[in-house]
Every structure is written in C-alpha cells, then in structure tokens.
Structure 1
Amino acid sequence: MFNIDRCKPLVVFALPLLACVASPTNLSGAVDGRVVRMVQPRLEAEPVLGPDADTAVTAGPQAATLNSDYPFYMPMQQLRRPAMVLTVKCEASQAAGKEVYGGRDGAAYYGRAEGGIEIVYDAQDRAGRPCVYPFAPAMPQTAGNLDGTQYIIRSSIPGQRAVFRTSDQWATINLRMFELGRQRVHFEMRDIEIDFPGAVQARGALHLEVVGSVAPGLFTAVVRRSKIFGGKNGIFVPGGQTMLYIEDSDIAGNVGGNVDQEHSTYINGTLVSHFRNSVWRGQLAWKNIASGHQLKDKAYLRIYEDLIVSNQPSGETASAMPLVDISAFGFTWSNNLQLRRFEPAQAPRDSLVDLRTEILYGQPDLYPWDVMVNRGWQMPADPLTALDQVYLSVFMNTQVESFRDEPYVFALRPQGTNLVAGSNTVEGNERTTRAQQRLVSIAFNTSGHVRQAYSREGWTYSNPQLPPGAMWIKDRDAFIRHALGLIGR
C-alpha cells in the first residue's frame, strides 16, 4: 500500500526509531513535505488486522457483507419489513427538481409513511452514467405506530452511489421522530452521496433527529458506503437510546459558520458509535478561531476500526483543535486509527485525541457508575487489576502523521466533583486527586510523528504487561459485551 520514500530520525516513547513518510498512489495534499493520504472507502469489509498489527487483538467476525449484516449487539429481529417501497426515476426527477416516484406504491405515496418505508433511487441514468439529483432527498413524515418500523434510503445498485447535489441553504436528510419512548425503530442509508455546499442553515447534512427515547426503547442507524458533506455539522445526532454504525464511508466535512461549535460529526449522549473502514475530514475552520473537531463523539460506547481522521480542511485552513473529541466517561475501543494533522493557522492544541470530562453528555442512567468522584471509590494500588471496574479506553495500533512531531496523542482529563446547578457542566476537575479517578486509558503500539502516547494526566499506560484475566480488553466483542452489559444492554 505504501512506498517509503523518506525517513527521518525520531524518538518515540524514548526509543530511537525511524519515522517514515509514505508516498501513496492517491494524494489529497501535502504539508511540509509530508503526505496525507485519503483513501477511497472499500466496497467490502476487510479484516481489521493489518500486516503489522498486534496479533493479540481480536476483532471477531467481519462486520458486514454488502447489505445485510449487522453488529451482534444490534437487535434486528424486532423489526418488520417496510410497509411501502418506492423507486425514484433518474431523468424524470432531474427534470422535475424533486422525486418522481415509480413502483407499486408510487401513486399512493403522499409524503407520509405509516409502517415504515424504503426509497430506492436510480443509481444511473438510461445512458449508464451516475445519476446526480439536483435536490436533497425528501424524508417522509412518519405516522402511526412506530414500533418495529424501518426507514431506508438507498441506491438501486449496491456499491454505486446515488448522488444528491444542491446549494440550498436548508438541504439535509432529516429523519424526525419525537417522544420515541420505548419503541424500536431503524434507519439505514446505503450507497448515497450528499453534497450540500450551501447548507449553512441545516443542523446536519445527515440529521438523525430522533429524540425522547427511553430504555428499553432503541433507535439504530446504519450508514454504508456513503459520502457526506455539508450542513452546520456533516452528521448531527442528538442524545438518546441510539446506536450508530458507519462503515466504508467518507465524512467529508461541514459548512457551518459557527466554526468552534460545529464539526464534521457531532454525536451527543448516545449509546453506541461504531465506525469501520471510513474517513473523517473537512471540518470548516477559520484562521482566527481554533475551530471544531473532525469527530466529536459523546456516545457511551465508541468502537473505531480502521479509521482515518484528518484535519484536511474544506476551506482555506485546518482546524487547530484535537482531531477526535470524545468523553472519558464510558468506553472506547480503537484499532488501526490513523490520525493526520495539517498545519493550522493557529498554534495547534497538543492532543490529537482528547478524552474530556468537563461536560456530561446524555442522561445519568446511561452510565453504570457515578461520573463524579465520590467517597465510595478509590483506585486500587494496581489499576490494571481493576479494568472491569473503571471507565476504560483502549487504543491499539494508532498511527500519527503530522506537520510536526506531536508531544503526545491522547489526553485523559480528570473527573470533577459536581455539576453546576441547572446545567451539564462539571466543575471541580482541578481539585480532585489521582486516587479518586475512576478512569483508565491504555495504548498499545502507538507510532509515527509523536514523542509519547499520553499527556501526564490520569491513569494512563503505554504498552503495559497486562495481568492474567485482563486480556479481554483486546477482544472487541468481549469489550462491547462488558460495556453494554453494565447498563443492561
């Protein structure tokens, strides 16, 4: 995959190594002579383990074939087939500037969906060329009993995207459901490209506005082989009992003007974010503001496999903020995360992955233990013997490419003492001791343009020798079962 064409001396984790810069075939740009590569999403899932990966990592079975496989923890048996299936004709829709429906249910569809819906867009015109629709897909108004319903939009040809391109300020794919309660609902988007460069008013180019869910209710969303660009946030997901799975996709950036509060992806207080074989990039930044993140993910459980996250800009300059902004509360399992930093106009923040604690996302019952320090917990003398009793993040085979030698990759921030009255802001972080923390982060095989894995905060470990009984943290499926089992999922 890579041709090594330049090496330079670099000290990584106090060991003399050669940091080599790759010269790949597909280039998206270069900074200070160092190349940042953006990959095309793969059509089919590939094994998680690369040739140089830690062979002790266990990823379980491959996650997906073209259309029908889902993560083991995502209960799909409760769903029923969509009551309505529509096809959308390419040339007729292009001429009309909106969907022109065909198929058995086309004449009976008036914008409302009861019992779920599947909308299939022509991927090609009659000449065999990719179909580009000059509008945003029209999502149905949901009606009736939602429990067990599915809402699917997809291309007519697996592996070939149907393209939607418009400069409309409000362009979005917005699934809206309120007061979901204890119901079970599923959304899926397959082989769709949305290019909304003018959508400065839309909360997200993909906005999954499903709110008001309570356990055991569940909303699941799956995005496969898609490309997303536009909106204040490229993807926006509000808090709730939501599981989001994305694979083989390109999250290409946002166009929002409030650059320090809007991101390529913004996920608030959900259950699960599981991302595979995908690229995050393009957060819109300004020269005089530190700006936002490529991936701001506040799910309870985060699974990252074979991701590239880069601050490659969609505008004139790159964001100076950490590329990945996640919560230290909850659980993170990452393997083969590639972090690529272009030089911003401002001095960059030191961390590339920031595990933060100053804001609580999601409802308190989303977490098995108190997220504040309290008298009922003190870290054991050897935290590695208590990994099943702490909020845990594990990062394996992380690679860093940067315009500079990064001081460190990960920062684990300290827990606080209480919430500010009437808000979700945590205070007292600066007053708590290390012994009071219930957070542990572990990194294995971190490499690239970086001096060390962690900042000097918190209970953090780089390449530790795990005690007997702790190897489960390298097994993806065991890690997921542990985290979800703690909250009855």
Structure 2
Amino acid sequence: MLILALPILLGIAGLSKACAAIDEAPSPPTVPAGKAVAAQPASLGAAPPAPRLPPADLDKLYPFYMPMDALRQPAIKLTVKCDASRAAGREVYAGRDGESLYGRAEGGYEFVYEALDSAGQPCVYPFAPWMPQIVGSLQGTQYILRSSIPGQRVTFRSNNEWATIDLRMFDIGQQRVHFEMRDIELDFPGAVQPMGAVHLEAVGTARPGLLTAVIRRSKIYGGKNALFVPGGQTMLYIEDSELAGNVGSNVDQEHTSYINGILVSHFRNTSFHGQLAWQNIASGHQIKDKAYLRIYENVTVSNQPNTSTPSAMPLIDASSFGFTWSDNLHLQRVAPAQAPRDALIDLRSEILYGAPENYPWNVLVDGAWLMPASPLTVLDKVYLSVFLNTRVDSFRTEPYAIALRPQGTSIAPGTTTVEGNDSTNRAQQRMVSLAFNTTGRFKQVYSNEGWTFTDPELPAGAEWVTDRDAFIRHALGLIGR
C-alpha cells in the first residue's frame, strides 16, 4: 500500500493540524479585527516549538494551497538494494527490475532506496540515481524518490560531470503532476554540466495545469546550480533540508538555488549556503528566487563557501514583483575577498521572470496607479513583502539589510528586461515592504528607496499581513490560484 505516495488534501482544519506539527515557529497570532496593532518586537515573538510528528506522519501533510486530491498512485514501483547496488556500481533491484521499463516510464513512478546496508549503516550509493524518460499522459501522475525508512537519509555520491536528478516534462498543458524527494542526499562535487543537481522543469504548462514539487529532509550539492527550477506553473515546497552549494564555473550566473518565474517557492526549516565564487568576481547568490509568491520560515542563508572564497553578492536575490512573507529568517555574511554589495536581501525589478498572467497588476509604472497618502491602508492593493523576526549576522555593520528597487516604465522589445527604473518617482510605485523586529548588525533595515516601513503600526483591517495563511490566500487569490 503506497501510503507515502497518497497525498492528503488539507482543508482549514487539516492545515491547522499540519502547521502545529511541522512549524518550529508558527505564524504570529492574528490580532482581533478592528483593533490597531502596535507592532512591537515582543508582540511578534515566535511561539515555542510544537511537538513534531514522526517523519512518516509528516510525509502525509502538504501545504493547504497545493491541490493534492487529483493524484493517483504511481504505476511503477521499484525498490533498490543497498549492498548489491554498491558492489555493482549501479542500481540492483529487489523484485521488478529497472530494465523492464526500457528507459521509459508511463503513469508515474516511485523509486525506493534501501536506507541501510547489511551492517546497519546508512547506505551510500556510488552513483547518481537513474531517471527514465517520462512518456504518456501526465494527468494525475506522481514521481517519487525516497528512502525506505522515513527520516533515514540515503546518499548518492558521484564525481560524474553529468550527475543529476533531472525531471523534465514537456507539453504539460492543463495536466496535474507531482514530484517528491524524501530523505535523499546528493553529493555531486564533479557535476559541472547539469543546470542543477536537482533540475525540475515543467514545459508548456497552462492554467489550471500545475506541477507541485516537494523536497523533505534532503541535502543537495553539485550542478551549475544545486537546485534549478525554470519558470512555469510550478509550486515548490522544501522543508528540513540543506542546499549546500553548486560547482558550476560561470560564477556570476550560477547559484546555490536558481528559481525562475514559478508560482510559489516555500522554504521551511531549511538552510542555503556554498555558492561557488571567484575571488575577483562578485559571483552569485545563495537564493535567486523569482517566484510570484515566496514564503521563508525558519530559513538560514549564508555566504559561507565550501571550496571557494565567499560570494560578495546579496544573499537573496528576489523579485520585487509579487509577494514575499518571511518569519525567522537568519542572514549570515562572512567577509568576501572583495567589497560586498550592499543589501543582504535585494528585491529587484530589472527583469520580469514570470508569465504575465502570474501578476494581478501591471509590473510597470503607468497612469492607473498613484500611491495614496497612507500606504498602510492599501496593503491589499499593492505588491507586498513582509519580514518578521529577521536576524542579521555580518562581519561588518551593514549599511542596510533590505533593498526594494523601483518599478520601470517599459520592457525592452524582444526581451524581459525592464527599462526606465531610474526615471520613475516614489508616488508611482505599487510596491510596499514591511519589517518587524529586525535585529543584528546593520545601520538601518531598508535602503532609502521605495515604500518601506520598519515596525509600523498597522491600521485596523491590515492585521492579515502578519498571518502566513491569510497572506498566502490573498496573494494566490489575486491570480485565481
């Protein structure tokens, strides 16, 4: 019985149970409607950690916004043996053999890797996982890679320059597809060729088509980017994991994680570090995230390298278009070999990454919008970022922690490059950023740009911005998701 392959649709009640189980720091409680909020640091403190469920139970819980009820059991299930596979240098199966697929998989698959060797030690497979070509109808299919023991990680270690987990699906259209990776460590120090040690690509998606991707209790190292997710109708959720760096040589264009114009990126209890940098180049980011909606919970981001000098670039390069909600984000900057770029979080507006239908309002300045005198009264009508309980640890006193870059006036013909960012004024901007209880080593929270507010007093009716679930519902509701 494929208990772990059958996702559970969480309603409101189910979501509350899930959050209590898997949140180490739940969202701050919502203040009763009609009462103004004096956003003092004490009022936004994180709740004590909730008791955690066993991994097998956590694996049945999914974010409420992911529609998990339309999925079916994978048609293919293969179990990989540890000792025999290590001896052979490739997958050796218990029961049905991978060769029976002739390199093609239809109807979804579940690959289960034996977690322990004959001595009871965690299994280290000396190769990258084999991935068949996906064929046939994709509707409702699942593609699952997991350890045989929930919570017991297996390791794949290879110096092959093409080592990767590469899930590519073409012409998805309006179909619903799901990918999951649980309790897997990828150690690919020589994988300089693949775009990602994990590469998740859904080509040709159209509403209501959707790829959901869930990564739990895993560690990823290698590739041009450790994680690479091109644009599309994709929702990405990662929890209890470590993105440990990349090994690509194009250091200013490759990152620990590179997430293009997808719908949602949601990280919980996860760390990012190890972007491969060069001493004389500013290099890349630990998180390059251009999703429409970004949720960061109990996330640590550091420029601590693995084998190179530290990157001098902002730790997080995100889009100012769309929505960001963060709680307990820990930013760590160690000294790079050159002068660091200002901003640890850079909310940028020079390029439009997502499809136009992913945005409820024009991402460019136009005559249809002028910010009213009290921006905090229209938080439901602007692109919004909210940062709760952010901690900054840096080798220096940062001039500021967060930058909100201005919108432009046009998109260069034949490109996605936004022009005219330097010619717009503050009143024309339809973006607001709020920060509550930011601590650490910096002179000020925000750069002197845009509509930014530090520890503001929220007007009655705006309390939803500190509630994670209300924030998510608002952002996705604006685009019919």
Alignment-mate amino acid for residue 213 of structure 1: T
Note the 1:332-481 alignment, pairs <5 A: 332-481=324-473
CA displacement at 1:47 relative to structure 2: 2.7
Match of 2:24 among 47, 50, 54: 47
> Residue 303 of structure 1: which of 290, 295, 305 is its match?
295
Q: Which whole-Å CA distance do the structure 2 matches of 1:487 and 1:62 have between them?
A: 35
Q: Would you say the 8 A contact 2:24–2:298 is kept in 1?
A: no
Question: How many Å apart are 1:66 and its aligned residue?
Answer: 2.9
> Which residue number in structure 1 is paired with residue 36 of structure 2?
none
SS in structure 2 at match of 1:284? coil
Q: Contact 2:342 / 2:399 at 8 angstroms: preserved in 1? A: yes
User: What does the per-residue CA deviation read over 1:165-219, in whole Å, with 9 as the maximum and x for residues that have no partner?
Assistant: 0000010000011111110000000000000000011110000022111111000
Where does residue 250 of structure 1 map in the other structure? 242
Distance 1:158 1:417, change over 3 A: same
Compute the displacement of 1:314 (Å): 1.6
The answer as to 2:197 corresponding to 1:205 is: yes
Where 1:453 maps in the other structure, the secondary structure is strand
C-alpha distance in 2, partners of 1:54/1:152? Answer: 42
Q: Could you tell me whether the CA contact under 8 Å between 2:45 and 2:389 is conserved in 1? A: no
SS at match of 1:86: strand
Cα distance, 1:106 vs. partner? 5.5
The 3 A distance-change label for structure 1 pair 228 and 210 is same
Give how far 1:57 is off.
7.5
Equivalence map 1:264-275=2 (5 Å):
264-275=256-267
SS of residue matched to 1:411 = strand
Alpha carbons 2:44, 2:436 under 8 Å: kept: no
Tell me how far apart the structure 1 counterparts of residues 342 and 275 of structure 2 sit (CA, whole Å).
18
Residue in 1 that maps onto 2:185: 193
Q: Report the alpha carbon displacement of residue 107 of structure 1 after superposing the two structures with TM.
A: 6.9
**What amino acid is the match of 1:386?**
V
Residue in 1 that maps onto 2:67: 75
Distance 1:234 1:326 in 2: 17
Distance 1:364 1:421 in 2: 15
Rounded to whole Å, the distance in 1 between the matches of 2:51 and 2:320 is: 27
Structure-2 residue corresponding to 1:109:
101
CA distance in 2, matches of 1:114, 1:172: 21
User: 1:410 and 1:271 mapped to 2: Cα distance?
Assistant: 23
Q: How far apart are the structure 1 equivalents of 2:90 and 2:43?
A: 51
Find the counterpart in structure 2 of residue 33 from structure 1: none
CA contact (8 A) 1:304 1:334 kept: yes
Aligned residue type for 1:321? M
- 2:3 corresponds in structure 1 to none
1:172, 1:205 within 8 Å by CA — same for their partners in 2? yes
Q: Does residue 1:162 correspond to 2:154, yes or no?
A: yes
Distance 1:469 1:487 in 2: 22
Letter in 2 for 1:95: A
2:343 corresponds to which letter in structure 1? S
Task: Name the aligned partner's letter for residue 45 of structure 1.
Answer: I
TM-score by length of 1: 0.88
How much identity, in percent, do the aligned residues show?
68
Q: Deviations over 1:13-52 (max 9, x none)?
A: xxxxxxxxxxxxxxxxxxxxxxxxxxxxxxx834315999
| Amino acid paired to 2:200 | L
1:147 to 131, 135, 139: 139
> What letter is aligned with 2:161?
Q
Asked whether the equivalents of residues 263 and 295 of structure 1 are also in contact (C-alpha less than 8 Å), the reply is: yes
Kindly tell me: are residues 53 and 231 of structure 1, through their superposed partners in 2, closer, same or farther at Cα, counting changes over 3 Å? farther
In 1: Cα distance, 2:26 partner to 2:61 partner: 20
Aligned to 2:217: 225
Unaligned runs of 5+ in 1: 1-43
Q: Partners in 2 of 1:453 and 1:55 — Cα distance?
A: 19
> Is residue 350–residue 406 contact of structure 1 (8 Å, CA) maintained in 2?
yes
Q: Does the Cα contact within 8 Å between 1:101 and 1:107 map onto a contact in 2?
A: no
Query: Structure 2: where are the runs of 5+ without partners?
Result: 1-20, 29-39
Deviating beyond 6 angstroms after TM superposition, the runs of 4 or more aligned structure 1 residues are 50-53, 61-64
* Counterpart selection for 1:132 from 109, 114, 124: 124
Are the aligned partners of 1:63 and 1:70 in contact in 2 as well (CA < 8 Å)?
Answer: no
TM-score (norm: length of structure 2): 0.90
Distance 2:168 2:360 in 1: 29
| Greater share of helix | 2
Partner of 1:376, secondary structure, is coil
The residue that corresponds to 2:33 in the other structure is none
Q: Quick check: 153-162 or 240-249, which moved more?
A: 153-162
Alpha-carbon distance in structure 2 between the residues aligned to 1:176 and 1:111:
14
Alpha-carbon separation, structure 1, partners of 2:148 and 2:205:
32
Cα distance in 2 for residues equivalent to 1:242 and 1:53: 35
| CA shift for structure 1 position 110 | 3.0
Question: Once the two structures are superposed, what CA deviation does each residue of 1:132-152 show, in whole Å capped at 9, x if it has no partner?
Answer: 111111112111110000000
Paired AA for residue 318 in structure 2:
I
- Give deviations 1:331-380, integer Å, cap 9, x for gaps: 00000000000100010011000000000001111100000000011101
Contact 2:434–2:452 (CA under 8 A) maintained in structure 1: yes
SS in 2 for 1:290: coil
